[in-house]
Amino acid sequence: MRRWVVALIIRRCQALSRGPEFVRQQGVPTVFEEWSLVKGGDALGEAARRCVGVDGVEDGMLVLNALSYAECEAVIASAESKVASFDAGKNRHGALQVWVGESWASEMARRLEPFVADDDGSFEINRRLRIYRYAPDGSEEFARHVDAAFDKSVLSQRGEIVSDDAKRSRLSVLLYLNADFEGGETAFYAPEVEGGDLLTAVKPVPGAALLFPQASDEEMDFARARWSQHAGVPVTAGRCKYVVRTDAVFDAMPSNDVAVARAVLGETCSPDSGRHLYSPYMGVEAVAPLLYALVRFLKPRRVAEVGAGFTTLGILRALRDNDRELARLARLPPDARALLDWPWTVDLETARDQPATLHCIDDCTHTAASATRVEEAARDLRLQEYLAPLDRRDAFDAVFRSESVDLFWLDFGASDRLPDYLTTVVIPALRPGGFVAIHSTLTNRATRAWLETLRDGDWPPARNLHHVSLLEPHKRFQNSITILQKRRANDGARFSEPLYSIKP
């Protein structure tokens, strides 16, 4: 791959940053300038700006008229005037960094904000831009890959690059500067696990901005296999291709989300160190303590969770607390008695006949998910002994032994596929008397339609299940839970609870 790169890091720089030592540390030649978009050059774009989707690419979009023709040519001319003699070494391309003021990035963020910003306006354009030039001889390309996310970079008062972990990139932004060439499309490919075939090829449109998701470090290996990858197709004729590469940067948790989190978590009995896993998009602030109490009450030994995150830590904590409680009971004197001189516990050894374990299944593709951080959080809380390695397969690909699971917690947006998942995966794996808790079942059409067939007895497995549904009446979304109990074994035998006394 041979191309030249101009990295434009948009930031008001301190005088110290202009020294030779700073430039040397960058690894590429660096200059400092004030850049701005062409004044008045956006008049047409403001009215004509619109967004279209990218076929086959989740959260991919193309924003037309993000830059005017004059603005595109100004960027090309400025870059060309500075890059002629630079060589970045092993990558065999010229490179240049230009540290400039904030106006360019701020104006670009304003133009893209209606299409990509969070509700509270926390969206920014990363102040580090890279300009790529591809020669029209077919020899230069950008191989298929997944872009990495990172913390926002800023300059300190001493001129050092430091990370601002309060802000994180989520989307790559490609700004096409010209189209007077042949080839040069941005190609997107199906995930490797689906064969990796070409999905679509976006042809550059001058002034258009192409946006698509990035993967965090924790997600990268999985993303390379399960996400769409992209590549820069060689340019075969015409003018050189010019592209600006930057990033959409957001608050790590948008301020509206923070406000919601503070409001609902103030009364939530969840482990404090797990609060960073909470997202209002998931709506489990009341479910987490409910699941904790349910696991404490039922004493399951094998729990399966489809859709990991904030609830995971509550389940793990409950499994740990169950073990501590059972251990204390086991240490009671043999003659410890309760009412009417009966033993307080029943079949205590059976309650601990296998290690308590939570199996989490999450393919980590949800953009607001916190599944990739649950293993680290479990280690921080010293709960890792109760957590099996995170299973990143699709939920439908998971395999359980027959009647091996005591409790399922399902929160993975199966929607109209939920009945099939319950029938083919969950119910056969559930032990007789075991429970399934399902999130968000009441106030959306997709799962409500299934739930009504369950209530009416028209869903075939209904005759072997008991069920109850609970609604959080103050919430619009993610506001309900349905709990099922399996009343017959896979061989048809009826499940029945034991009897221990004549009266309550």
Give the per-residue pLDDT at 264: 47
| Of residues 395, 433, 403, 223, the one with CA closest to residue 305 | 395
Asked whether the beta carbons of 466 and 487 are under 8 A apart, the reply is yes
CB atoms within 10 A of CB 322: 21
- The whole-angstrom separation of Cα 153 and Cα 163 is 5
Residue 182 confidence (pLDDT) above 80:
yes
- Lowest mean pLDDT of 60-69, 175-184, 206-215, 386-395, name the range: 386-395
Give the per-residue pLDDT at 88: 41
Which band of pLDDT confidence, cut at 50, 70 and 90, is reported for residue 378? confident
| Distance from the first to the final alpha carbon of the chain | 78
Which band of pLDDT confidence, cut at 50, 70 and 90, is reported for residue 120? very low
Give the per-residue pLDDT at 259: 53
Angle between helices 310-330 and 287-298 (to 10 degrees): 30
Q: List b or e across 157-183, with b for residues whose CB sees 16 or more CB atoms inside 10 angstroms.
A: eebeeeeeeebbbbbbbbbbbbbebeb
- Is residue 272 helix, strand or coil? helix
Give the per-residue pLDDT at 156: 58
Query: For 89-99, how does the pLDDT look when each residue is reduced to its tens digit (9 = 90+)?
Result: 433 344 455 55
Positive or negative torsion for Cα 435, 366, 382, 280: negative
Residue 272 confidence (pLDDT) above 60:
no
DSSP string, 238-263: ESPEEEEEEEEEEESS-HHHHHHHHH
- The whole-angstrom separation of Cα 134 and Cα 176 is 12
**Whole-number percent of the chain with pLDDT over 90:** 36
Instruction: Give mean pLDDT, residues 1-16.
Output: 48
- Is residue 359 helix, strand or coil? strand
Give the per-residue pLDDT at 269: 44
Query: For 13-47, how does the pLDDT look when each residue is reduced to its tens digit (9 = 90+)?
Result: 443 344 554 455 555 555 566 666 654 455 556 77
Question: Which whole-number Å values give the CA distances from 69 to 79, 184, 245, in the listed order?
Answer: 16, 18, 17
- Lowest mean pLDDT of 234-243, 251-260, 331-340, name the range: 251-260
Which band of pLDDT confidence, cut at 50, 70 and 90, is reported for residue 1? very low
What is the separation of C-alpha 455 from the centre of its chain, rounded to a whole number of angstroms? 34
Asked whether the beta carbons of 66 and 45 are under 8 A apart, the reply is yes
Asked whether the beta carbons of 376 and 313 are under 8 A apart, the reply is no
Give the per-residue pLDDT at 150: 81
| Summary mean pLDDT of the chain | 79
Which band of pLDDT confidence, cut at 50, 70 and 90, is reported for residue 423? very high
Q: Which residues contact 443 (CB under 8 A, 6 or more apart)?
A: 471, 476, 477, 479, 480
Residue 10 confidence (pLDDT) above 60:
no
Positive or negative torsion for Cα 82, 88, 93, 98: negative
- Burial (Cβ within 10 Å: 0-12, 13-18, ≥19) of residue 413: middle
- The whole-angstrom separation of Cα 134 and Cα 233 is 10
Residue 84 confidence (pLDDT) above 80:
no
Max avg pLDDT among 5-19, 70-84, 192-206:
192-206
Residue 278 confidence (pLDDT) above 50:
yes
Q: Between these two residues, 295 and 13, which has the higher pLDDT value?
A: 295
Instruction: Give mean pLDDT, residues 155-161.
Output: 59
Max avg pLDDT among 261-270, 272-281, 469-478:
469-478
- Side-chain-side CA neighbours of 247 within 13 Å: the count stands at 22
Q: Between these two residues, 213 and 413, which has the higher pLDDT value?
A: 213
